Amino acid sequence: MRFVATTKSHLSTSEIARAVGVHPNTVRLYEEWGYLPPVPRGPNGYRLFGQAHLDQMRLARLALHGLWPGRNLRASALALVRQAASGDLGGALEQGYHHLALVQSEQAQAEVAVNLLERWAQGMATDATAGPLLIGQAAQRLGVTADMLRNWERNGLIRVPRDPDNGYRRYGAVEMGRLRVIRMLNRAGYSQMAILRMVLTLDQPQGGDLRSEGTLRQILDTPRPDEEIYSAADRWLSTLDEQEQRAQAIISQLEVMLQRQNRNTTKV
């Protein structure tokens, strides 16, 4: 990000854009969408930006540039940007800490799921189903739909034995244990591609060599060269680490803005 001196009273749209590294049209759009405070106009109709607009543009770009993993995190980022634009920097900072807590909550869920995965991969039982269950019974016990179980099977996450007499699927303790791990990873935010990458690796003859602590975590988080990455959840652990750093940077920017506003208020 390039530094722009702000000793003069006003900045142009182009100067704001250069300072943040965007096209001038992005600045205009952010103003239109309510991501910037109201911008006064000069007699010639040109926008007259000030330091507060530059600070807010930096915050908005930091918070909104790129993809957010999940609607809740994006909605949280939008809320704090709009709150800051309205002039409520204290409320925006509070929202910034709430946003950080959301990211850290996602991280905690992701870590818990990996811990279960690692213990299951090392042979710990994760289910004790006494007898084979039909697909509807298995779905009810897991709290998912039968269609979801079919989808996981169709996409290679699990192989389910069939009754030789009627062809019905039979879910025993082994299948239910594997499904519990898959379900927990899915609910913790890992993509189906990441989960498939992991189970396919474990199912290989040398899969037992990959069960050591940390190895499965790396497999979950590292797309293969032949994969096409469509979502942040294909490398979920790294994505959440990056989002935590981003949330910390948002808080730091808001603190700078608050300090500057307080200095200006004291001068007045």
The CATH number for 35's domain is 1.10.1660.10
Range of the domain at 181: 70-268
Looking at the fold, whether 1 and 58 belong to one and the same domain comes out as yes
The structure's pTM equals: 0.84
- pLDDT tens readout for residues 77-113: 999 999 999 999 999 999 999 999 999 999 999 999 9
Looking at the fold, whether 84 and 46 belong to one and the same domain comes out as no
CA–CA distances in Å: residue 189 to residues 3, 67, 79, 116: 38, 15, 22, 14
**Mean of pLDDT values over 204-228:** 75
CA dihedral 201, 203, 205, 206 (to 10 degrees): 30
At 209 the pLDDT is: 59
Q: 165 — phi, psi (to 5°)?
A: -85, -45
Our count of domains for the chain comes to 2
42 pLDDT above the threshold of 70: yes
Looking at the fold, whether 208 and 252 belong to one and the same domain comes out as yes
Output DSSP code: residue 42: -
Looking at the fold, whether 26 and 148 belong to one and the same domain comes out as no
Please indicate whether residue 5 or residue 172 has the higher confidence score (pLDDT).
172
At 214 the pLDDT is: 73
Record the tokens describing residue 78, joined without a space: 């939008």
**Mean of pLDDT values over 188-198:** 93
Least confident range of 57-71, 92-106, 175-189: 57-71
At 2 the pLDDT is: 41
At 226 the pLDDT is: 79
At 62 the pLDDT is: 93
Looking at the fold, whether 59 and 80 belong to one and the same domain comes out as no
At 7 the pLDDT is: 46
State the average pLDDT for the chain. Answer: 90
Looking at the fold, whether 57 and 120 belong to one and the same domain comes out as no
Looking at the fold, whether 82 and 157 belong to one and the same domain comes out as yes
Looking at the fold, whether 101 and 209 belong to one and the same domain comes out as yes
Quick count: other Cβ atoms within 10 Å of Cβ 131?
9
**Mean of pLDDT values over 54-74:** 90
Q: What is the DSSP string of 63-82?
A: HHSS--SSHHHHHHHHHHHH
CA angle 225, 231, 236 (to 5 degrees): 85
At 71 the pLDDT is: 85
Least confident range of 126-135, 151-160, 218-227: 218-227
Residue with tokens 């990455």: 229
**Mean of pLDDT values over 18-33:** 95
Looking at the fold, whether 154 and 171 belong to one and the same domain comes out as yes
Looking at the fold, whether 209 and 245 belong to one and the same domain comes out as yes
**Mean of pLDDT values over 25-42:** 95
- Could you give the 3-state DSSP secondary structure of residue 157? coil
Confidence of residue 213 (pLDDT cuts 50, 70, 90): low
Looking at the fold, whether 138 and 247 belong to one and the same domain comes out as yes
Looking at the fold, whether 88 and 21 belong to one and the same domain comes out as no
